[in-house]
Amino acid sequence: MPSVRIPYKKVQNFVLIKQIDYDYRRKYKKITYCYDEYKDGVVVKTYNHRINNPAVIIYRNNHINELQYWKFGKLHRLYAPAIIIYDGHIIATEKWYYEGVNLTEVEIEAEKKVIDRRQKMMKVILKIKRKQENKINI
């Protein structure tokens, strides 16, 4: 399986890299965003990492099959699943992680309640904002 590593940014002792792995026979492609940590010009460690977007994207048959969110080498996503596995266009599996720790069902339900509260508050805020805009336009 051929692999391509594309460095795209250097920050102090770190080099941000986009790595692409292909397997044409199995119709498989994996894109990984990571960074290499250097010490004295030698790679010490490689961490999967990307802010606000998936760090690992796996394609099968030219469709997204899996998304993984990583932060500093640990599976991590706040208020959403860190691993999403698709079956066609439908989400088949969700795995929730926070700083590398797999969340329990109770913790996941608590996160979902926070998400629901935030969505309700946003609706109220937008409704108030629309009313204020209508008063100004009249």
Residues 104-125 have pLDDT tens digits of: 999 999 999 998 999 999 999 9
pTM (predicted TM-score)? 0.80
* Alpha-carbon span 86 to 91, nearest angstrom: 4
Say which residue, 24 or 46, is predicted with more confidence: 46
Range list of β-strands (E), 27-118 = 28-39, 42-48, 56-60, 63-68, 70-71, 74-75, 83-87, 90-95, 97-98, 101-102
Q: By three-state DSSP, how is residue 31 classified?
A: strand
